Amino acid sequence: MYSEKVMEHFKNPRNVGEIENADGIGEVGNPKCGDIMKMYLKIDGDTIVDVKFKTFGCGSAIASSSMATELIKGKTIQEAMKITNKAVAEALDGLPPVKMHCSVLAEQAIKAALLDYSKKNNITIEGLEDFDPNEDPHDHH
């Protein structure tokens, strides 16, 4: 049911933890399954120099957050904004359909952390104008 990559990232998740004095912190949750994901970003200029996460959730959510951190580390804010839940799932060699919402959490956690960063620094990030981390627009149940 799960790809080897999902199992691997679930067993050995990358970038677990928190960043002290993070520049952006995003926390999102899925009200249906109750899983919560928290993402910490260290941003230098325009580049995400470090990223860590804590996920209280299912294996797919842990694998998705692990993969998401790997995908955005060292990337620019604009590049991170382009990471969709589909990209996360594809990088994991796929997720079962009922588990796609777990990857949505990863996309939203990145965006929530970037939104926090933009608010703290009084900047606007293209694509975040209408983003609401408390909203659950994609429901794949």
Query: Which residues carry out catalysis?
Result: 33, 102
3-state helix, strand, coil in the chain (%, to 5): 40, 20, 40
- Closer residue to ligand FES (CB): 43 or 63: 63
62 lies in the binding site for ligand FES (CB under 6 A): no
Residue 77 · residue 125 · CB < 8 Å? yes
63 lies in the binding site for ligand FES (CB under 6 A): no
Calpha distance 64→92 (Å, rounded): 8
- Closer residue to ligand FES (CB): 77 or 95: 95
Q: Read off the tokens for 15.
A: 């970038």
In the three-class reduction of DSSP (H, G, I as helix; E, B as strand; rest coil), residue 19 is classed as coil
- Closer residue to ligand FES (CB): 38 or 99: 99
Return residues touching ligand FES (CB under 6 A): 30, 33, 35, 57-58, 60-61, 99, 101-102, 105
